[in-house]
Amino acid sequence: MSNALVFADRLLDLLGGHRVTAALCTAVELGVVEALTAGERTATEVANECSTHAPSTERLLIALVALGICQSVGPTRYRLTDMGACLANSASHSLRSWALFEGKMLSHSWMGLAESVRSGRTAAELAGADGGRYGQMHRDPEAALVFDAAMANMTRLVARDLIAAGDFNSAGKVLDVGGGAGTLLVEILRACPTTSGSILDLERCEAAARRAIDAAGMRSRASFLTGDFFAGIPAGFDTLLLKNVLHNWDDERCVVLLANCRSALADAGRIVIAERFLPPRDYSSRSASTALGDLNMLRGPGGRERSEAAYCGLVTSAGLRVARRIPAGRYDLLVATR
């Protein structure tokens, strides 16, 4: 094959990326994945369980085999692969909610990416929506549920690395600033029995966070605080954790937020920032996921992914000192002190 043909072939696969998202989201949305968690099934059995059209269900199953989500067993039966099993609700590292988030929310929003690149404005700004992305969620509780559940999926996936890197055994009282539905705090407290803490987030997250705390039997060690982190951060915590929060905001807002953290921080306290750093001027496929995440920030909340140097710049602009950088799997931790 000529070089041009090889490149065109590869390009065709890239161009069809939306089909993959849609097929995976459909398998989750229709219950095909859940039907297969019980064991091998024929397409007709899956269709009966999911109330779908059997011949079309078989076509979906064949595509899922091609994508490595299912395996065919004999001429008529299908089962989930180990990767496909991660789409099930009960999987220890389930990405079920993330699949729905990509397929039902992000893929629609990304269709308007050209408008954001043309104007530098987010989807919410272009729609004239008050309060940006989180204001929109306040008015659309269903979308907020999808978003919070997806963040919980992603956070559970990386929690072990973050906890191993972050030394939370000696963290004292932790405040997870913008901690959403409480997934990370619960995992930290589970791993570190002498640590206690709270989640600070918008009212929208309160019910889910309280449910997570109760389900983990942690009412005596964890609580939820409703608040706007731009208005202020409550004092009395030794560790302020910010995971996937700063990347939502422009530099100016980040400095306000970090300065609020500084005012609330005990003298010997620390701020732990968990983000994915963009390698400076590394445009290779290694950094593709963070580079695409950056476009997601442009289209969504209006923030950006940043290099380590850019995060350090924000920290020092807020009057803080960068103490350490610690790699944590897919993430990096930046530890800041007064």
Ligand X SMILES: C[S@@+](CC[C@H](N)C(=O)[O-])C[C@H]1O[C@@H](n2cnc3c(N)ncnc32)[C@H](O)[C@@H]1O
Write out the binding residues for ligand X, residues 80-139 only, by CB under 6 A: 134
In Å, how far are 22, 196, 212 from 179, measured between CA atoms? 29, 14, 12
Instruction: Return the number of other C-beta atoms located less than 10 Å from residue 49's C-beta.
Output: 17
Q: Is 203 exposed, middle or buried (0-12, 13-18, 19+ CB in 10 A)?
A: exposed
Provide the minimum distance between the beta carbon of 46 and ligand X in the complex, in angstroms, as a whole number.
Answer: 32
Among residues 116 and 244, whose Cβ is nearest to ligand X?
244
Is 41 among the residues that bind ligand X (CB under 6 A)?
no
**Residue of 202, 256, 310, 322 that binds ligand X (CB under 6 A):** 202
Catalytic entry in 18, 93, 108, 247: 247
| Nearest residue (beta carbon) to ligand X | 178
User: Which of the stretches 43-51, 94-102, 172-180, 314-322 binds ligand X when contact is defined by CB under 6 A?
Assistant: 172-180
Binding residue count for ligand X, defined by CB under 6 A? 18
The SS3 of residue 97 is helix
Q: Does 178 bind ligand X (CB under 6 A)?
A: yes
Q: Contacts with ligand X in 227-256 (CB under 6 A)?
A: 228-230, 243-245, 248
Handedness of CA 49, 51, 57, 58 (dihedral sign): positive
- What b/e string do you get for 107-123 counting C-beta neighbours within 10 Å, with b at 16 or more? eebbeeeeebeeeeebb
Other CB atoms closer than 10 Å to residue 79's CB: what's the count?
Answer: 16
Question: Which residue in the set 205, 246, 271, 278 belongs to the binding site for ligand X (CB under 6 A)?
Answer: 205
Residue 180 binds to ligand X (criterion: CB under 6 A): yes
Shortest reach from residue 206's CB to ligand X, in Å: 11
Beta bridge partners of 162: none
66 or 207: CB nearest ligand X: 207
Q: Which is nearer to ligand X, 32 or 334 (CB)?
A: 334
d(CA 319, CA 338): 7
- Closest approach, Cβ 225 to ligand X, in A, equals 10
> Which pairing describes strands 70-73 and 77-80: parallel, antiparallel, or unpaired?
antiparallel
Segment lying near ligand X (by CB under 6 A), choices 35-43, 81-89, 108-116, 199-207? 199-207
Q: Nearest approach, Cβ of 274 to ligand X (angstroms)?
A: 8
User: Smallest Cα–Cα separation from 305: which of 276, 335, 274?
Assistant: 276
Rule CB under 6 A: is residue 328 a binding residue for ligand X?
no
Round to whole Å and give the CA distance between 38 and 78.
11
Active site residue 247: yes
Which window, 10-18, 64-72, 201-209, 281-289, contacts ligand X (CB under 6 A)? 201-209
Please state, in angstroms and rounded to a whole number, the distance separating the CA atoms of residues 265 and 323. 15
Handedness of CA 246, 252, 253, 254 (dihedral sign): positive
- Is 184 in contact with 239 (CB distance < 8 Å)? no
Nearest-approach distance from CB 180 to ligand X, in angstroms: 3
Using CB under 6 A, which of the segments 26-34, 51-59, 86-94, 223-231 binds ligand X?
Answer: 223-231
Binding site for ligand X (CB under 6 A): 134, 151, 155, 178-180, 183-184, 201-202, 205, 228-230, 243-245, 248
Active site residues: 247
